């Protein structure tokens, strides 16, 4: 981490919400890197948000965990705001859980922005623009899709088993013993081959489903 020097901007306005919103707008518009520090003198709280080219990469403060810092930030209504371009980190620790909390905070700020002299165009979309490149919650596939191959193999094998039993019963009732043995042998081989084909097809379908879900998640 580099040490502090002259800040890019330090907003001297009295209102906390306006300070924070304008600071974040400047970070976004100037594609800034640095540390946004928010100090709550009322509750003796401190939050440091580190940005790399306007992308949040790390959260720290007076709490042990970053999630706690962001949760506290959601409750603040007063504080001092400062952004330092010379204070940066060279690592990224942000998780999708932290992204959710950060997005929630930004959404609250967007709603607050309508009550100040900030133009609608400046504040609208702030939450989306500052979170679109951040880690997102992984897609959880439904049980049926996540274990598609296993479900399909069981289902197909049950169907093949029932078919084999039906063939065996029919053969036993209609053919002599020697012909029954020959036909049942051929039937068993055919069922085994069909089972292998079903398993290969199910595996391919599972891979395709997983890739499709991954692509949809990346495009979102």
Task: Measure CA of the first residue to CA of the last residue in the chain; give whole Å.
Answer: 33
The total of structural domains in the chain comes to: 2
Q: Is the predicted pLDDT of residue 171 greater than 80, yes or no? A: no
Q: Does 3 fall in a domain?
A: no
Taking residues 6-27, what's their average pLDDT?
76
- Residue pLDDT, tens place only, 73-82: 999 998 999 9
pLDDT value, residue 93 = 96
E strands of the chain, at which residues? Answer: 34-40, 45-52, 55-61, 80-84
- Residue pLDDT, tens place only, 55-65: 999 999 999 89
- Name the residue range of residue 205's domain: 143-219
Of 105, 131, 157, the position where a domain reaches its end is 131
Of 103, 131, 159, the position where a domain reaches its end is 131
8 A C-beta contact, residue 38 and residue 95:
no
Q: Are residues 116 and 172 in the same domain?
A: no
8 A C-beta contact, residue 126 and residue 104:
no
- CB atoms inside a 10 Å sphere around CB 187: 15
Q: Does 104 fall in a domain?
A: yes
Q: Are residues 148 and 127 in the same domain?
A: no
Q: Are residues 125 and 186 in the same domain?
A: no
Q: Does 6 fall in a domain?
A: no
Q: Does 5 fall in a domain?
A: no
Confidence of residue 11 (pLDDT cuts 50, 70, 90): very low
pLDDT value, residue 102 = 97
Cα 217 to Cα 114: distance, rounded to the nearest angstrom = 32
What does the block give as tokens for 188? 């068993």
Secondary structure of the chain: what % helix, strand, coil (to 5)? 55, 15, 30
Q: Is the predicted pLDDT of residue 147 greater than 80, yes or no? A: no
Between the CA atoms of 85, 98, 20 and 84, what dihedral angle is there, to the nearest 10 degrees? Answer: -10
The percent of residues in the chain predicted with pLDDT above 90, rounded, is 45
Confidence of residue 29 (pLDDT cuts 50, 70, 90): very high
Cα 57 to Cα 4: distance, rounded to the nearest angstrom = 18
Q: Are residues 117 and 25 in the same domain?
A: yes
């Amino acid at each position: 981490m580099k040490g502090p020097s002259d800040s890019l901007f330090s907003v001297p306005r009295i209102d906390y919400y306006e300070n924070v919103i304008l600071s974040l707008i400047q970070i976004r518009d100037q594609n800034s890197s640095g540390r946004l520090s928010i100090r709550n003198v009322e509750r003796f709280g401190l939050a440091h948000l580190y940005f790399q080219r306007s992308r949040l990469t790390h959260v720290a403060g007076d709490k042990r965990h970053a999630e706690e810092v962001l949760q506290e930030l959601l409750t603040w209504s007063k504080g001092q705001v400062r952004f330092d371009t010379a204070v940066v980190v060279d690592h990224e620790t942000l998780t999708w859980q932290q992204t959710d909390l950060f997005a929630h905070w930004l959404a609250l700020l967007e709603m607050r922005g309508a009550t100040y002299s900030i133009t609608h165009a400046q504040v609208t979309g702030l939450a989306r623009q500052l979170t679109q490149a951040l880690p997102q919650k992984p897609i959880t596939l439904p049980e049926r899709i996540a274990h598609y191959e296993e479900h399909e193999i069981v289902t197909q094998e049950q169907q093949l088993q029932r078919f084999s039993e039906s063939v065996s019963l029919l053969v036993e009732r209609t053919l002599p013993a020697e012909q029954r043995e020959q036909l049942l042998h051929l039937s068993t081989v055919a069922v085994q081959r069909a089972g292998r084909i079903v398993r290969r097809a199910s595996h391919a379908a599972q891979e395709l489903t997983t890739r499709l879900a991954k692509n949809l998640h990346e495009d979102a």
